[in-house]
A and B are shown apart, each in its own frame.
Chain A
Amino acid sequence: SAVISQKPSRDICQRGTSLTIQCQVDSQVTMMFWYRQQPGQSLTLIATANQGSEATYESGFVIDKFPISRPNLTFSTLTVSNMSPEDSSIYLCSVKGGTDTQYFGPGTRLTVL
């Protein structure tokens, strides 16, 4: 299984600002995913990020609000733009392994005041 790290692990931000979350994997992977987990809720897929192409966003998520970069096969960033308190969540990245398995990073806990 892949070892995934995320930075920052947590942050407290003011409304109207932006935060960029980094996801680093210890091996090259084709597909990376970004999820949001709102307080007490399950995971919701934000977008799928493949290296060398534009991210594919799920319904309800747009690039202007959640721009994603995927510069190489071991790294990706997710930016949460123009934040509001409703963006307070855990943001998780994951990578696809064998037999449809996904492995998750430890998450970034974001609080927006």
Chain B
Amino acid sequence: GNSVTQMEGPVTLSEEAFLTINCTYTATGYPSLFWYVQYPGEGLQLLLKATKADDKGSNKGFEATYRKETTSFHLEKGSVQVSDSAVYFCALSGGSNNNDMRFGAGTRLTVKP
């Protein structure tokens, strides 16, 4: 079945550092890919998404490109801020399993001033 493997943390960076969180997936068909962010004490917020190969999702300085050849959707940000401290989840949905959303384990990011 569909699954997501995500780089586990925790990840600790200094402010303005470059961020990469790796995410790879296994799926049949052509799923949509997502990054969600969970700030402390809150629910999940959609950060960005991509629905087909080579699409790039972007939001708030974060980017991720749907790479079908490597089955990856790595999250990147060029310069992180303290306010980016949160847990980030990679997820996929659709493909041959239209209703199910599968989540990675989550990566906790802490950004220090």
B interface SS class: strand
* A42–B31 CA distance with the chains assembled, in angstroms: 20
Q: Which residues on the B side are within 8 Å of A42 (C-beta)?
A: 89, 103-106
Contact (A96, B43) CB under 8 Å given A42-B105, A43-B89, A101-B32: no
A103 to chain B, nearest CB (A): 7
Chain A interfacial residues counted at CB < 8 A: 22
Question: Is B34 on the interface with A (CB-CB < 8 A)?
Answer: yes
Binding site for A on B (CB under 8 A): 31-32, 34, 36, 42-46, 49, 51, 89, 93-94, 98-101, 103-106
**Could you tell me if B49 and A101 are in contact, using CB atoms closer than 8 angstroms?**
yes
Q: Which residues on the A side are within 8 Å of B42 (C-beta)?
A: 106-107
Interface residues of A in 25-58 (CB under 8 A from B): 31, 33, 41-43, 45, 48
Q: Which residues on the A side are within 8 Å of B44 (C-beta)?
A: 43, 92, 94, 104
B92 to chain A, nearest CB (A): 8
Question: Is A14 on the interface with B (CB-CB < 8 A)?
Answer: no
Give 6 new A-B contacts, CB below 8 A, not counting A33-B101, A100-B98.
Answer: A42-B106, A43-B89, A48-B99, A90-B43, A99-B32, A101-B32
